[in-house]
């Protein structure tokens, strides 16, 4: 157990001084990161794209976003896109405008292809089957 006489407060600054953005030779400067403005998406396009049938979604991906088309998986009548790790804001904005939404449970971007259904506790790939669009129709 330390006694009060052995505790050193040298080099410690009060809280406001630690958070200061002004340059100080004796202390480290903590700067707040610049706020990145959100990427704007067209909600009009998003609503229109969410109602597209499966083939139209695949055609849209093939023409507008070939990188997404290469990894698009058709599950039943829905289209899923899965990535390793987190995507940039630009990618999420593009997917959102194309009509996809993030499914946090399955960790995939999903497009309902005009189909609105209730949440299913099982993996739809087992019930409806699935395939990768690029395997069926190469670029």
**Cα(112)–Cα(124) distance, integer angstroms:** 13
Tens of pLDDT, residues 64-121: 999 999 999 999 999 999 999 999 999 999 999 999 999 999 999 999 998 766 666 7
**pLDDT grade, residue 56 (50/70/90)?**
very high
Query: Contact at 8 Å (CB) between 133 and 69?
Result: yes
**Three-state DSSP class for residue 68:** helix
Report if residue 86 sits inside a domain. Answer: yes
State the chain's mean pLDDT as an integer: 80
Domain assignment of residue 62, yes or no: yes
Quickly count: other Cβ atoms within 10 Å of residue 116's Cβ: 7
Would 48 be classed as within a structural domain? yes
Residue 19: pLDDT band with limits 50, 70, 90: low
| Higher pLDDT pick, 30 / 132 | 132
Give yes or no for residue 7 having a pLDDT over 80: no
Helices (H), the chain: 15-18, 43-50, 54-64, 66-71, 89-97, 124-128, 133-136
Contact between 52 and 115 (Cβ < 8 Å) = no
- Domain extent, residue 123, equals 43-136
Residue 131, in any domain of the structure: yes
Residue 4 lies in a domain: no
């Amino acid at each position: 157990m330390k006694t009060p006489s052995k505790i050193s407060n040298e080099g410690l600054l009060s809280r406001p001084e630690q958070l200061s953005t002004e340059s100080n030779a004796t202390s480290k400067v903590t700067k707040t990161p610049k706020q990145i403005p959100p990427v704007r998406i067209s909600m009009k396009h998003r609503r229109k794209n969410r109602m597209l049938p499966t083939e139209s979604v695949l055609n849209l991906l093939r023409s507008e976003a070939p990188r997404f088309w290469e990894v698009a998986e058709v599950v039943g009548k829905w289209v899923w896109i899965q990535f390793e790790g987190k995507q940039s804001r630009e990618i999420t904005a593009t997917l959102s405008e194309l009509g996809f939404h993030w499914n946090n449970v399955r960790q995939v971007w999903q497009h309902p292809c005009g189909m609105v259904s209730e949440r299913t506790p099982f993996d739809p790939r087992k019930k409806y089957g699935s395939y990768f669009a690029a395997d069926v129709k190469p670029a």
